[in-house]
Amino acid sequence: MIVGQIEQIDIEDKVRFQSKVKSLSGDFYVKFDVSQKWAEYVDTDVHDAFLVSILLNAMRNGEDVFVDGLISEKLFYNITNSLMPMLKGILPNLKDVKLEVAGIRGSQGTNLGAVATGCSGGVDSFYAISYHLSHSVSNSYKLSHLLFNCNGSNKMKSLAEPRFKIVKEIAERSGLPLIRVDSNHGQFSHFKYHESHNFRHVSSVLLFQKLFSKYYFSSTFSFSDCHIRQANSSAYSDPFILNLFSTEKTEIIPFGLIMNVAG
Per-residue pLDDT, averaged over 90-110, amounts to 89
Tell me the pLDDT tens digit for each residue of 44-75: 999 999 999 999 999 999 999 999 999 999 99
Per-residue pLDDT, averaged over 233-255, amounts to 85
Q: What is the pLDDT of residue 259?
A: 56
Q: What is the pLDDT of residue 263?
A: 42
Per-residue pLDDT, averaged over 126-154, amounts to 86
**Burial class for 136, CB neighbours closer than 10 Å (0-12, 13-18, 19+):** exposed
Distance (Å, whole) CA 41 – CA 45: 11
Q: Higher-confidence residue: 255 or 6? A: 6
How is the chain split into domains, by residue range? 2-105, 114-255
Tell me the pLDDT tens digit for each residue of 150-189: 876 545 666 778 888 999 999 999 999 999 999 999 889 8
Per-residue pLDDT, averaged over 109-113, amounts to 86
Question: Treating both helix axes as pointing N-terminal to C-terminal, what angle do 48-61 and 193-205 enclose, rounded to 10 degrees?
Answer: 150
Q: What is the pLDDT of residue 3?
A: 98
Q: Is the pLDDT of residue 251 over 70?
A: yes
Q: Domain 114-255 in CATH: superfamily?
A: HUPs (3.40.50.620)
Q: What is the pLDDT of residue 20?
A: 98
Q: What is the pLDDT of residue 223?
A: 59
Q: What is the pLDDT of residue 235?
A: 67
Q: Is the pLDDT of residue 139 over 70?
A: yes
Q: Is the pLDDT of residue 221 over 80?
A: no
Q: What is the pLDDT of residue 261?
A: 47
Q: Which of these, 22, 48, 30, lies nearest to 104 by C-alpha position? A: 48
Q: Is the pLDDT of residue 233 over 70?
A: no
Q: Higher-confidence residue: 256 or 172? A: 172
* Antiparallel, parallel or unpaired: β 14-22 and 2-11: antiparallel
Name the most confidently modeled range: 99-113, 169-183, 236-250: 169-183
* Antiparallel, parallel or unpaired: β 251-255 and 99-105: unpaired
Distance (Å, whole) CA 156 – CA 154: 5
Whether the CB-CB separation of 179 and 42 falls below 8 Å is answered with no
H or E stretch at 13: none
Residues paired with 150 in a beta bridge? 182
**pTM, entire model:** 0.91
**DSSP reduced 3-state for 225:** helix
